[in-house]
Amino acid sequence: MRVLHGALLLALASASVGVAMAEEPATQPVASVDQLPSGQEVSDTVIELAGWVIAANDNHGYPFMVMDKAAAQVLVFGGDGKLRGAAPGLFGSAVGDHAAPGIAGLALREIPGRDRTTPAGRFVGGYGPSIDAGRVLWVDYDSAVSLHPTASGTPAERRGERLASPTPDDNRVTHGCINVDTGFYELVVQPTFEKGGVFYILPDKDSVAETFPEFAQSREASKRDE
């Protein structure tokens, strides 16, 4: 596991000064974990969005996660704004940014292929019970989107192999939920979000301005001031 990208850490460190922290678990991991493929960069949009979340305190001091569906990346931050880890993620097999009406009431096998999307936007979530999977980390309870370790997939889907591949081309495979490596989930995700947090998912088709209007307005204002 590599040390996280220096430029990313530097950019976020400057935004995290003075951030008020919500109470976090004592088991919070100290060292940042980087499971991103060698040579794979984090986009400027992700870096700018994470920096804005910290500077604007949009997470209200709670842990937060930024997910880039196009790059198949998951970045985890503590309530103090410090980067806890970055890893590949698996997302919904269908390209789209909205959950189909009534999808939360369907069994996985009943969800049409076109509706297997991971919705984009800002969500407040946390651990809670589910009907068939025990206690899970809900990203968006209303659309039944949760985050799981890869052990939750079926062997035929080769989810572990997809996560381990060097590109994001094969990372769209789920029914809409997000999957990460089991080790990353247990070491970083689970302890960080034990008391809940905020989740930011970048869009596939919608614009960033549509999905995160306050962030987009802040970014435009910053450009005008340059």
174-211 pLDDT, tens digit each: 999 999 999 999 999 999 999 999 999 999 999 999 99
Give phi and psi for 26, each to the nearest 5: -70, -15
Residue range 114-171, pLDDT digits in tens? 889 999 999 999 999 887 778 899 999 988 899 999 865 567 788 889 999 999 999 9
- Name the DSSP letter for residue 119: -
Residues 6+ apart with CB under 8 A from 197: 59, 62, 63, 64, 65, 79, 124, 125, 126
Residues 6+ apart with CB under 8 A from 221: none
Q: Which is nearest to 32 in space by CA: 90, 93, 75? A: 75
In terms of CATH architecture, what is 6-21+31-220? Answer: Beta Barrel (2.40)
Tell me the whole-structure pTM to 2 decimals. Answer: 0.87
Residues 6+ apart with CB under 8 A from 7: 47
Both ends of the chain: CA-CA distance in Å? 37
pLDDT at 32: 83
At CB < 8 A and 24+ separation, what contacts does 166-169 make? 166/37, 166/38, 166/40, 167/37, 168/70, 168/71, 168/72, 168/73, 168/88
Domain residue ranges in the chain: 6-21+31-220
Look up tokens 């503590």; give the residue. 78
